[in-house]
Amino acid sequence: MSEFQGCQLPEDLHYDLDYVWARPEEDGTFTIGVTDPAQTMSGRLQKARIKKVGTHLEAGRHVATLESGKWAGGVPVPFAGAVIARNDALLENPHLINIDPYGDAWIARVRPDDPATALERLHTGPDAVAALQAWIKRYDVQCMRCSD
């Protein structure tokens, strides 16, 4: 895993180069979450609303809305698909995203309408890490993960 200015940037994930990551799963679905720099910029998350299982979303639509004391925003899906699971633990404790954004604090799992094109808008590997490092520099982020 790469680290830059305290921000963890796993090379094996796929990124929208803004604040969303996606991880392909063996069953053809994708787990969606927010990046470490994004959780740092948002501040301590206080509320999470996640679409219900079975909800169909077009690319760019929000699978979740997150709120902190200083920020509120949506988490877009990078491809059209159906929500097949959501992380209900975040509904009770959205602050988990500030603790473990790539692990226990995944937001939803989505089955893409077209698996062959699901990754077209996403980036991975060294090029994605370099682009995310530029994002971190541009916004002058120094990542911090909270504890319970």
User: Predicted confidence band at 147 (pLDDT cuts at 50, 70, 90)?
Assistant: low
pLDDT exceeds 90 at position 146: no
User: Are 67 and 7 contacting, i.e. CB atoms less than 8 angstroms apart?
Assistant: no
Domains of the chain from N-terminus onward: 2-138 (2.40.50.100)
Alpha-carbon span 107 to 101, nearest angstrom: 9
User: Predicted confidence band at 148 (pLDDT cuts at 50, 70, 90)?
Assistant: low
User: Are 78 and 107 contacting, i.e. CB atoms less than 8 angstroms apart?
Assistant: no
Distances (CA, A) of 13 to 52, 55, 78, 115: 24, 24, 13, 16
Residues 12-41 pLDDT 10s = 999 999 899 999 999 999 999 999 999 999
Torsions phi, psi for 108 (to 5 deg): -155, 160
pLDDT exceeds 80 at position 134: yes
Q: Which residue has the tokens 């796993």?
A: 10
Q: What is the pLDDT of residue 73?
A: 95
User: Are 50 and 87 contacting, i.e. CB atoms less than 8 angstroms apart?
Assistant: yes
Residues 47-104 pLDDT 10s = 999 999 999 999 999 999 999 998 999 999 999 999 999 999 999 999 999 999 999 9
